[in-house]
Amino acid sequence: MQTNPPDSVVSLSTPKGSVPSDASVVILGGGVIGTSIAFHLAEAGATGVVLIERNLLGSGSSSKPLGGVRATFSDPGNIMLGQRSLEAFENFGEKFRTDIGLEQVGYLFLCSDENALLDVEESSKIQRNLGGSSQMLSPRQISEINPFIDTSSLLGASFSPRDGFAQPSKVVHAYAQAAQQLGVTILQDTEVLDIDATGHQVRTVHTSRGAIGTSSVICAAGAWSARLGAMADVYLPVEPVRRQIGLTRQSPEPLPKVPFTLDLATTLYFHNYRNGLLLGISNQDQEPGFCREFTYGWLDSFNRAAAITAPSLVDPDLEAGWAGLYENTPDRNALIGKSHDVDGFFYATGFSGHGFLQAPAVGELMRDIWLDREAFMDFAPFAADRFAGDAATVREVHII
């Protein structure tokens, strides 16, 4: 059984030796979010940008074989991040001269109860009002576009043809390489050990390879962000939760090409990967924690769900499987903004399982927040301090 994802290696040569003594900004974390921010800052002409990654680029949650990309959400902010990112993914080949394996097969969100159907109908409307093309399908139409589905328990589904999936490692590589060419110092095998924010102002980032004097940091450390925030006394409520996926044995013949399909009732999901299927479920029995070891524990709940939604997928014949971390916030929506308590502490984290699909837009947004210029959307609802006091949290239907 293979437990290292294919197509996940991000190979980029980066400097060894000691770190620069100062920087205008230090980006903490070299996943898809950190590298996107680095690229967008450098593209806008920022100088003195340093990105620090403890291991190899993409070795956190961004190294999964395939990442779903979509603008299917109910919250307008999430929809805008998704739409803006879809546009960027569509233009990626031309802009970065690389193939990120984008396949716009659409997303299918299955509904089996009246409330879910009403919610999904409403979010389809919001998406269309913002320029999206999501539409509602009947059970008969669902079986036409996804023959794996047993529609007997279903009332309908939303289908958004522009969505799909792509390869996160290719995106990380393209952003990192372009950022490096534009002058960003990218350091791998370099761990952030502490952040000096004496007097409520970021002053120094202490790393395993020396100290960097800086007046600002951007935390893009995914599931590990709470620890980095705590170093500077900034509360970032991000909880790591293991999420596992399996890949079925490659069949000699291509399988029917289906949309990225998610069942809202059971949280089962699957989509094509070459001549197999990538499949998984949001396992409600999974305790929070940093464990990234692959096990078969999630298969029981997957099989129970598949028996209802996609009976031919019960007891899948797996040739590979991977475990990674979701970086969950209390309302399962991102933390994007800057600290009001510590000057110079910015953050883009807590994407709760949809960080890949939002990464291009978040890079743009964080560039504008850091440069203090007008952004393409209002990021205030994603502030981390929404969990303090009575501030409204973000409600999102399309999260599993």
Ligand X SMILES: Cc1cc2nc3c(=O)[nH]c(=O)nc-3n(C[C@H](O)[C@H](O)[C@H](O)COP(=O)(O)OP(=O)(O)OC[C@H]3O[C@@H](n4cnc5c(N)ncnc54)[C@H](O)[C@@H]3O)c2cc1C
Q: Is 324 in the site for ligand X (CB under 6 A)?
A: yes
Angstrom distance (rounded) from CA 347 to CA 338: 6
Q: Is 31 in the site for ligand X (CB under 6 A)?
A: yes
Identity of the residue, 58 or 156, whose beta carbon is nearer to ligand X in the bound complex:
58
Angstrom distance (rounded) from CA 255 to CA 105: 14
Identity of the residue, 68 or 156, whose beta carbon is nearer to ligand X in the bound complex:
68
Instruction: Count CB atoms within 10 A of the CB of residue 129.
Output: 10
Q: Is 187 in the site for ligand X (CB under 6 A)?
A: no
Positions 228 through 267 that interact with ligand X (CB under 6 A): 228, 243, 245
Angstrom distance (rounded) from CA 86 to CA 122: 21
Rounded to the nearest whole angstrom, what is the least distance from the CB of residue 139 to ligand X in the complex? 25
Out of 120, 149, 192, 238, point to the residue binding ligand X (CB under 6 A).
192
Q: Is 354 in the site for ligand X (CB under 6 A)?
A: yes
Out of 10, 27, 52, 238, point to the residue binding ligand X (CB under 6 A).
52
Residue 89 CB contacts under 8 Å (≥ 6 apart), including other chains: 69, 100, 102, 166, 171, 360
Out of 220, 278, 361, 394, point to the residue binding ligand X (CB under 6 A).
220
Out of 53, 163, 263, 331, point to the residue binding ligand X (CB under 6 A).
53
Identity of the residue, 151 or 190, whose beta carbon is nearer to ligand X in the bound complex:
190
User: What SS3 state is found at 186?
Assistant: strand
Q: Is 363 in the site for ligand X (CB under 6 A)?
A: no
Rounded to the nearest whole angstrom, what is the least distance from the CB of residue 202 to ligand X in the complex? 15
Of 73-81, 149-157, 348-356, 392-400, the window that binds ligand X (rule: CB under 6 A) is: 348-356
Q: Is 112 in the site for ligand X (CB under 6 A)?
A: no
Angstrom distance (rounded) from CA 150 to CA 67: 25
Q: Residue 181: what residue type? A: Q
What letter does residue 74 receive in the DSSP assignment? S
Rounded to the nearest whole angstrom, what is the least distance from the CB of residue 242 to ligand X in the complex? 8
Of 37-45, 132-140, 194-202, 325-333, the window that binds ligand X (rule: CB under 6 A) is: 325-333
Residue 62 CB contacts under 8 Å (≥ 6 apart), including other chains: 31, 32, 33, 168, 169, 172, 222, 355, 356
Would you list the DSSP string of 245-269?
EEEEPPPSSPPPP--EEEETTT-EE
Q: Is 61 in the site for ligand X (CB under 6 A)?
A: yes
Residue 333's alpha-carbon distances to 34, 101, 139, 282, in angstroms, are 18, 26, 30, 16
Residue 336 bridge partners (DSSP): 348
Please give the residue ranges that form the binding site for ligand X (CB under 6 A). 28-34, 52-55, 59-62, 64, 67-68, 191-192, 220-224, 228, 243, 245, 324-327, 349, 351, 353-357
